Amino acid sequence: MPKKVIAIVGPKGGVGKSTISANLAIAIAATGKKTIAVDLDLGGANLHVILGVRSYDYSLDDFVLKHIKTLDKALIETDIPNLKLICGGSKIPDIANMPFQQKLKLIGHISKLDCDVVILDLSAGSAYNVVDFMFIAQIGLLVTTPEVTSLMKAYGFIKTAIFRLLTFHFKETYADQFTELIDKAKDVDANPHLNTIEKFLKEAEKIDEKAVESARNKIARFTPSFIINMVQSARDVSTGMVIQNLVKQYTNLNAKVMITLPADEAVKRALFKTKPAILSEPMSPFSVAIKELAYKCMSAVVQ
């Protein structure tokens, strides 16, 4: 059983999820922890490219298509001590469209991987299947850039995650009534009176007060952290506060910014050298910040 699962998500494409996953995995492996990076971006699998892995025998395709019985058969050794990789596939449906049973099986096998840390690089989007990996992870890191479009999508992701959590929570009691209310709350334009999670919960209390009380406890335990990537100015840094306030105002969650990562040409140069920035330019601002992120992840208290 891995001691820590870290899920890297980000609803917008190209915000740096795979770059961060690869460099963070190397930084954690360098501390002596047995680390496995798993490329769950099945449509656009590229973690192996960033890590400089040229060839491999098996990928997630082979696991899902049952060419191999267990996920650990798809483990690939890398040149980096303590770091192994599981490549994403291209022949199977993306995680977003993966059937429920298949996803459960995959989660089961991920949790059985023999290592200290697993890093999951997920595909862009806010599909429930992606959101679910945030819930199985001890550390969920939501990547955004300082751009407004990316921040809004990140906020939308948090809301989707809360509705997912509530849908599961209310499955046992008054499911139909709660589902109807959740669907209403999702349509903010038609139902502005339900535009915050608190307003939703107040309305839900009319259905079942006790169930809502325990839902509140579950929501309070959901603690996603943000990574603000490709930061260029002091103004960009302050967008961390913007997203924190937005989340607080509408969901009452105390989300925190785990780290801000600078926009750094070393990351671009690394792609051409097919050697991740943390190895090719370990003293670059991005690499130094990734090491700090690794330290924070390893010292974070597991929920």
Ligand X SMILES: Nc1ncnc2c1ncn2[C@@H]1O[C@H](COP(=O)(O)OP(=O)(O)OP(=O)(O)O)[C@@H](O)[C@H]1O
The binder of ligand X chosen from 17, 48, 84, 291 (CB under 6 A):
17
Binding to ligand X by CB under 6 A, coded x per residue (else -) over 29-68, reads ------------x--x------------------------
Q: Cβ(37)–Cβ(51) under 8 Å? A: yes
Report what 157 binds from ligand X, Mg ion, none; CB cut-off 5-8 Å by kind. Answer: none
Report what 264 binds from Mg ion, ligand X, none; CB cut-off 5-8 Å by kind. Answer: ligand X
Does residue 268 touch ligand X according to CB under 6 A? Answer: yes
Report what 15 binds from ligand X, Mg ion, none; CB cut-off 5-8 Å by kind. Answer: ligand X
Rounded least distance, CB 60 to ligand X, Å: 15
Does residue 150 touch ligand X according to CB under 6 A? Answer: no
CA separation for the pair 264, 1 (Å, rounded):
35
List the one residue out of 108, 67, 109, 111 whose CA is nearest residue 89. 67
Does residue 90 touch ligand X according to CB under 6 A? Answer: no
Name residues contacting Mg ion, limited to 27-56 (CB under 5 A).
41
Provide the angle, in degrees to the nearest 10, between the axes of the packed helices 148-169 and 209-221: 140
Q: Cβ(282)–Cβ(289) under 8 Å? A: no
Does residue 17 touch Mg ion according to CB under 5 A? Answer: yes
Does residue 267 touch ligand X according to CB under 6 A? Answer: yes
Rounded least distance, CB 12 to Mg ion, Å: 11
Does residue 18 touch Mg ion according to CB under 5 A? Answer: yes
Does residue 93 touch ligand X according to CB under 6 A? Answer: no
Does residue 274 touch ligand X according to CB under 6 A? Answer: no
Rounded least distance, CB 61 to ligand X, Å: 17
User: CA 267, 273, 277, 279: dihedral to nearest 10 degrees?
Assistant: 180
Helix (H, G, I), strand (E, B) or coil at 165: helix
Does residue 13 touch ligand X according to CB under 6 A? Answer: yes
- Burial of 196: CB neighbours in 10 Å, binned 0-12, 13-18, 19+: middle
Does residue 286 touch ligand X according to CB under 6 A? Answer: yes
Strands 83-86 and 76-77: antiparallel
Name residues contacting ligand X, limited to 203-242 (CB under 6 A).
229-230
CA separation for the pair 66, 53 (Å, rounded):
23
CA separation for the pair 22, 266 (Å, rounded):
14
- In this structure, is the dihedral angle defined by the CA atoms of residues 248, 250, 253 and 255, taken in order, positive or negative? negative
Structure tokens at 260: 């801000």
| Interface region with ligand X, contact rule CB under 6 A, candidates 65-73, 154-162, 196-204, 258-266 | 258-266
In the complex, the residues that contact ligand X under the rule CB under 6 A are 10, 13-19, 41, 44, 124, 229-230, 261, 263-264, 267-268, 271, 286
